[in-house]
Structures are given as structure tokens and as C-alpha cells.
Amino acid sequence: MFALKPLSPFKSTFFGNPLRRAPAVNGVSRLSRMSRSGWYSASCLTVRAVISSEDKAVEGAGKLVEGKDVNGSMASGSQAKDGIEVRAVVTIRKKMKEKITEKIEHQWELLMSGFGQKILIQLISEEIDPVTNSGKSVESFVRGWVPKPSEHSHIIEYTADFTVPSDFGNPGAVLITNFQGKEFYLVEIVIHGFDGGPLFFPANTWIHSRNDNPESRIIFRNQTYLPSQTPAGIKDLRREDILSIRGNGKGERKHHDRIYDYDVYNDLGNPDKDQDLARPVLGGDERPYPRRCRTGRRPTKTDPLSESRIEKPHPVYVPRDETFEEIKQNTFSAGRMKALLHNLIPLIAATLSSSDIPFMCFSDIDKLYNEGVVLKDDENNEIGNLLENMMKQVTGVGPRLLKYDIPAVVKRDRFAWLRDNEFGRQVLAGVNPVNIEILKEFPIVSKLDPGIYGPPESAITKELIQQELPEMSVERAIEEMRLFMLDYHDMLLPFMKGMNSLPGRKAYASRTVFFYTKTGILKPIAIELSLPPTRSSSRNKHVYTQGHDATTHWIWKLAKAHVCSNDAGIHQLVNHWLRTHACMEPYIIATHRQLSSMHPIYKLLHPHMRYTLEINALARQGLINGGGIIEFCFSPGKYAMEISSAAYDSMWQFDLDALPADLIRRGMAVADPSMPCGVKLVIEDYPYAADGLLIWSAIKEWVESYVEHFYSEPNSVTSDVELQAWWNEIKDKGHPEKKNEPWWPKLNTKEDLSGILTIMIWVASGQHAALNFGQYPFGGYVPNRPTLMRKLIPDENDLDYEKLILNPQHAFLSSLPTQLQATKVMAVQETLSTHSPDEEYLGKVSHLHRNWINDQEVLKLFDRFSERLEEIEETIRKRNKNARLKNRSGAGIPPYELLLPSSDAGVTGRGIPNSISI
């Protein structure tokens, strides 16, 4: 029945009962029944699926009958005289850089494993045993424990040999029990000897020690099955594996756990340390928010609704397989981010805090790139080494020098940021190109309560705009779609009183009106800066235009700086953090909880979930937390995450995360069925949208072909119980405050499913890339994109007005972040803009996923997707050389490359990773 292949003479003699599989840990037992008859001994093990009342194992859920112990003692039962010899090749990855103690421990493991067994492998057939109604099973311990030669020193291959009966069928799952004292990283298992060639069981997972969790791990073959198509022999295993991942919602999660569950954002504050660090809970009717991954830590002593914090450098729990891999830890993100937050930032503060002064002149800013900042030497050599690895410019000889690369925005033209043309260009081709909207009518009206915030009409009137358009009427400009707006008024004004009460912070709620000229330039023509109305003054709205004298020009520069500061805050808190990082997290949690790893949609989404939970956990720990970098360096301060919650409440819709829908909502495109994505851009030279639609269409085509392949039968979407549970959980548990909104897409057809998946993959890949990897190229030069402002614009009667007249350069710079604030945020922006050496880019299959699916038709579809992305890359390159497209080419203009699919490691200002990995 099966083709026999020559194998090693090593052959397992262990064909008794399966090893006793202990009952539930994390609330759920795995295997309903493990059995064999004849060759698969009738003395089978029965384990009940239970959910315990506590997060502990339930005793007595299973019983071993005439089995063998872990030392290999034979169980009773007959042995067959003939069968098929098969071999499992087990690929394990060990640490690339081991400490001395770890090397000694590893050698001890090698020595001891020659006399005993440390890893038990059980093959579970897709065919059912009629006697026990469970999958047939054979087992063997990994033998010899002698590594085979490998081209990579950290990759080791071991073998386990089996003799299986001729009617065993193909294995559909492998159970692994780890008797070592520590976990190990399993790359894959390949079974040789069955007919049809090797069978692949991709893992890429940590296998816990039985000391931590007595449950075995289930690894499925790279064959996809919809729930209704699951072979009978592994059907119970499919269900048990999903249950084990969900947990029971109780107890504190441990390092080795793989539990995915939901919680509110109640871990941002630290009231036990300081009441000023208390922060409100995000998630609930008062402050709606997407859910995060639950950690289960105890509440704080001073606030039972807040979860106690794990402060850096100690890790925050994420499910074990979500943690950064070693190459990312060592060369970039975890190590680099922790070094940045825990070591570099304090060194910067220690160096500059005693003289936390503004930049006195522009040459002070230039010194950051030319001379650098000499940091106080730290006697801790380990910290010094971390810093040296973290930043190219940090040396280990003499004083440590923090020296930044020149940001792209001023590398070609150091004065470009001063010009209105560049201000407008960055609205379309900068790091935050997703807020510009068309201006359709006057008056511009606020939606805020006029009883609290005053008259709703904007001070930017039709008459004022007409003065700035001497050659065209306002009506004609509106008709020809030439007026646009950047409107942060309603989003920020409710928080303005609190923001301006913070030390060293002064901000306005801003509106900016632009005119798109016939020469293709987006020109700012009016800026409105508003403060909350007060009893003493009703003049809370100021309008600024460019003017024609020196004083007005400098005031105009200050007004633009305030707009840039607002734009930086909204970009970071709403568009970047909320709309990509935070909103993606519930999709990831639900995918693991509801879709089996055998499910085709799980396999499609898996590359787009890598590292996101870990980077989000790091952000909660040191970036968006109370007193963290975002609060210290951005205008909203301690109100930052409340603004994010308010934006989620008022504006976030899942369906509008589709790029075409978002462009239409903002009036930046109109529906046009004749165009490839069904939309036509209002401004052709809108680099983010033009390139983004290419990426969107490629993702859409790939997803539609993939879904069609698996859901070609009528009602196959509605009858998929895992898929329906997945979509319901995303709405009900991931976004519970919005679960009843009418705009959620239905999930009844393959077209519905394709649309939902295209949005998710776009958000994780293209959308995040466009919003993230330009942070340092655009924000690394402080005057171009200040993250906060420290002074209001002076009126003629203010004392600071005279200072502006006498020294406008100093007045401008003293309104920007201080040297300490700027240097801190530049370090963070540089880190967040960096690609890791192990980055996985859109359309590429990494070594981790080389055997991700056993379906040649799907692999052909993916190859077509990859080829399409290569074509898109060439198209974007040609666009960047087109002199007609002034927002991406011209003297001193950096090309728009944020949506180029590929990239090298480092700060490149280009490249689309598969996932939100930084």
C-alpha cells in the first residue's frame, strides 16, 4: 500500500499505549480519546475535555492502563511482524548566542539523552479506529539525540523511527510531549516513508516542558481543511487544540502559556507608584476602545479597576509564540527597544535634563547630525554594549556619542521645510497622508455642542478664502474640487483646556484650508487656531494667512508649526496606533481562538499577525503608558490615550479601513466603475493614494482568488462554523462597544469574506507601512514636524510679541520641543522607522513558511501575487522619475517610496512588511 524507502537501521521498539496525557492546564484538556486496536493497543487512554473552575490541572481526568513510563518500559499488547518503517525528522532551533551556562546545560542534555528519552512523538492518523472511534496512533521517543550536520549551527535535526501498519493511512497530526526541563523551539517535523513523498508538519512554535504544562502539543500537517472536511481521525484534535488556546479567562498568564483572551486597556497607569500616573481604563461605554490581549495580572492596590504593571525591562506577557525571535531580539527590536527605553533614554535625560533648554539657533539642531550629543559615560559595560549594538553611531571608545543620520526631508534640501509647497506636499506624500479631505461648502461648521464650545461656525469664512483666490471664485474652486482641508478642530478642542494646563505645553485646535493650483501644487491659504471659549474672552478663534511682510511671515511659520504638531499627535495616536496596532490586535486574538491552524483562512492571515502582540505589549509598557515617551514628547501629554479613545468612538468604522472607501469618505476620490479599484482620484498626484491603490488591488486579487479556491461551493461560507464564530467574536469581544453598528459587513458570501480579509491584510501591511516607516525621515528634523509646541502665538499686546520682533528665529525655536524632548523623540522615531534583519515582506515567503500549505494551486496563486508586487514596484519607481508628478519628483524632493514593497534592513523609508512588526 505504501512505498517503502530506505531508512536508518534505528527503529523504535515502543509501540504500546500512548503516553498518559495529563488533564487540563489553562482550563482545557486536549484529547478526547487516544486509541489504537490491534497494532494500536486496545488498552487506550481516555482524556475528558474539561474546563476547570481554576486555572489548574484537574486530577483524575485520564487513566493509563498497562502503559509504559517515560523511561521506555514496554506496555502490554501485541506487536506486528510486518509494517512500514517511517522516520520523523525533527528540526529544532537552538539559541544563536548561548551563555556559558546554557552551553554546559546543552552538552549535558546531549549526554543524558543518549541513555533516555526526552521527546515523545505520536503520529495520529487521519483515519479513525472503529473500535475506539478516534484516530489511530503510533509513537516513538526521539532516539540517539545526536544532531545531524546542518549549514546553520543553531539548527539541529533529530530523528524518531516508527513501524506503522499497512492500514494506518496518512498521519494528519503529531503530538509532542517534552520531558526536558526546559522548552525548545520546534521548526518543523517531516515524516519520510509514506506514499506520495515526505509529509510536512510546519510548527514554528515553542514546545513547553512537561514540568510547566503536562499537556502535549498538537501539530497538524500542512493540509488545509474546512471544519466540515476534517478527517475523522483528527476531528477531535482540531477542537481540542482550539480549546487549549482559549483558556478559561482566569488566573495570571505565565511565560510558557499560549492563551489568547481579551481585556480592556487597564494597564496604562501606575497609581501605586504615583497618583499622577493614574490613567482611566480604555474599553467600556464611557471610553470605548478595541480590546487587547489579556495578561491576568493582579489589580493595583489603589485602584481595583486597574491592572498592576510590569515595568521595563521585565517582559509583559504575550502568548509564547507571539514573542520576538532571537534574531529580532539580538539585532533589533526587543533588545533595541528595551535598550532604548531602559538605557538610552535615561542617559539622554541625565545628559540634558540639567540644561533642558530650547534650541538657540538652527545650528544647534544641525549639530545632532554633524557632531552629535556626548552622553554621560555609564560605568555599566553591559549597558554600553547594548547601546553600541543598538545604534550604529554609538561607540564604545571614550565618551558615548549619540549622532543621528540626516533625515530624508532635509537631506536633499535643508530649507525645503520652510516653504508652503513642502508643507502641502507632505499632506499628500508625508508620513500622515490620511487626514486631508475635500472642502465642499461654507460655512465650515463644528459638530461639537455649542453650549460648551461656542458658536459652531469656523472663523475661516467664504469671504476670507476669496481674498486668497484672486483669480478664481470660491464657488468655482469648490465645483472644480480645488479646496481641501485638514481639520483637527473637533477632535482636539474638548481636550484643549487640559492640554494647555500641562507644564510646557501650549496648543490649539486647528483647521487648515488648502488650494490645489492648476500647476499641481497643494498650497495652504488659511489656518484657524482655536482655544476653548472663556468668560473673559469670546475671541477664541484666530485665522492666519501668509501675508506679505516679515512679521506676518514668521507668525505664519508658527501657525504652520502648530498645525504640524497637531498632525504629529493625531498621526501617532489615531492613525498609526489606534487604526493599525490597536485595531489589529482583536483580529489576531480571534483568529487564534476560533480558527484551527488547519483552516485556510488561518493560513492566509498567519503571516500578517507576526510580532504584533509583542510590539503592542512593548508600547503599553514604555510608549503609550502614563509617563511614557508619547506623553512626554507629544502635545496631548497625559490626555493622549483619551484622545485616541474619543477618535475611536466618533470615527472608526471597520468598512472605512478599506482604502477606496476611505478615499471616497474624505472626498479624495469619486466612485468610477471603469477604474481598476472602482475609484478615481480627485488629485492624481496623491502619492499615498495612487501607490496605495496599486497595493490594495494586488491584495484584493490575491485574496479573492484564494477564497474562491476554498469556498466555491454554495453556502460554504455560512456553513463554516469556525469562520462564523471568528467574525462574530471580532465584533462581540474585540470591539464590543461597536458590535451593534450597522456598518459591519455581513459574512454570507465569498465576496463578503474577501472584502473583510482584504481590509485586514491591507491594514497590517500597506496601511501600517505608509504610516510608520516615514517617522524618522520626516520627523527626525524637529522644525519640520514638531511633536509639541510650548508657546501660543503672541498677540501685539503680549510681552512675547516684542521678543518675536527682536529675534524671530529664537522666538520660533523656543516654541518647539526642548533639546531633551526632541532628542528623545528622535531616538524613538529612528527605532520605529527601522526594518529588522528578519523582516518578512509582502509577497515573499520566508524560510519559516516555506512549507506553509500543501496545495499547488494556492502556491501558483501566491506566485502571481508576488509577480504583481514586483510589477508595482517598477511602476512606483517610474512614477518617482516622472517630472509631471511634482509631489514625488523635482529639485530637492525625496521620492515617495513608503509603499515600495521591498526593502533592506535599517531606516530605508520604504518596504511593506507582512505584519505590524514594529
Active site residues: 576, 581, 768, 772, 918
**Residue 900, phi then psi, degrees to nearest 5:** -70, 125
| Cβ neighbours around 26 below 10 Å, total | 26
Query: 416-441 burial, b if ≥16 CB within 10 A, otherwise e?
Result: bbeebbbbbbbbbbbbbbbbbebbee
Q: Which stretches does DSSP call E strand in 97-170? A: 119-129, 134-141, 155-164
In angstroms, the CA 577 to CA 85 distance is: 53
**Residue 84, phi then psi, degrees to nearest 5:** -110, 130
In angstroms, the CA 386 to CA 383 distance is: 5
In angstroms, the CA 247 to CA 593 distance is: 9
In angstroms, the CA 905 to CA 902 distance is: 10
| Cβ neighbours around 730 below 10 Å, total | 24
Cβ atoms 680, 666 nearer than 8 A: no
Closest CA to 627 of 641, 613, 616: 641
Q: How many CA atoms lie within 13 A of 84 on its CB side?
A: 21
| Cβ neighbours around 72 below 10 Å, total | 15
In angstroms, the CA 869 to CA 838 distance is: 20
Indicate if the alpha-carbon torsion angle 409, 410, 412, 417 is positive or negative: positive
Alpha-carbon 368 to chain mean position: 30
Q: How many CA atoms lie within 13 A of 337 on its CB side?
A: 27
Take residue 292 and report the three cell numbers written for it.
487587547
Burial zone of 111 (CB within 10 Å; 0-12 exposed, 13-18 middle, 19+ buried) = exposed
Sole residue written with cell 517535523: 189
Helical pair 750-762 and 687-710, crossing angle rounded to 10 deg: 140
Query: 805-825 burial, b if ≥16 CB within 10 A, otherwise e?
Result: eeebeebbbbbbbbbbbbbbb
532 DSSP assignment: -
Name, in order, each residue with C-beta under 8 angstroms of 10's C-beta and a sequence gap of 6 or more.
Answer: 143, 144, 159, 161
Cβ atoms 505, 816 nearer than 8 A: no
Paired residues of 85 in beta bridges: 163
In angstroms, the CA 57 to CA 571 distance is: 46
Closest CA to 409 of 877, 788, 913, 897: 897
| Cβ neighbours around 239 below 10 Å, total | 17
In angstroms, the CA 363 to CA 368 distance is: 9
Take residue 723 and report the three cell numbers written for it.
469562520
**Residue 426, phi then psi, degrees to nearest 5:** -70, -20
Q: CA-CA distances (angstroms) from residue 192 to 88, 152, 341?
A: 6, 22, 48
Cβ atoms 295, 316 nearer than 8 A: yes
Name, in order, each residue with C-beta under 8 angstroms of 285's C-beta and a sequence gap of 6 or more.
Answer: 737
What is the three-class DSSP state of 155? strand
Cβ atoms 121, 143 nearer than 8 A: no
Cβ atoms 23, 213 nearer than 8 A: no
| Cβ neighbours around 768 below 10 Å, total | 25
Sole residue written with cell 475528558: 48
Q: CA-CA distances (angstroms) from residue 51 to 24, 61, 658?
A: 7, 11, 39
